[in-house]
Amino acid sequence: MQEKEQTIISYFPSSTKAQTAVDMLAANGLTDSHIKRTSRYGVTFDTERNNATANLAETQTGLTVFSMNTPNEENAAERVLMAADPSVSGLSSRGNGMAGGHAFSVVVFVPQSRVEEAIKIIKQNDGEV
């Protein structure tokens, strides 16, 4: 009989910490995990258009709140309001109306006997369960 699985939902302050946790979980045989971006806005993160290090940032909000790319001619008021969001300035790095208070979540499915092991790995990478 197959052991029952449990779902663990955790939240991370950055995508790199979330990815490190997922990689560590996988290295320990817990491969059924998924990283999700959480935003109050449409979530489409296009690395070609929203890459600050390659000087390809289309919008400030694309880099900070993972907003959808919106044409300059359309939704001008919406773009201004998103840019005014406290998280864009960095003044609100936590909370700000998002589930879990962070922009990244990891959902992992683990056998019940390995729940504590998975939680330990998540917490080692600054994740909150």
CB within 8 A of 27, min separation 6: which ones?
Answer: none
Confidence of residue 16 (pLDDT cuts 50, 70, 90): confident
Q: What is the model's pLDDT at position 63?
A: 54
Place of tokens 């992992």: 108
Q: Does residue 39 have a pLDDT over 90?
A: no
Q: Identify residue 62 by its one-letter amino acid code.
A: G
**Residues 20-49, mean pLDDT to the nearest whole number:** 77
Q: Which domains does the chain have, with CATH numbers?
A: 1-38+103-129 (3.30.70), 40-97 (no CATH)
- Nearest in space to 106 (alpha carbons), one of 44, 38, 29, 4: 38
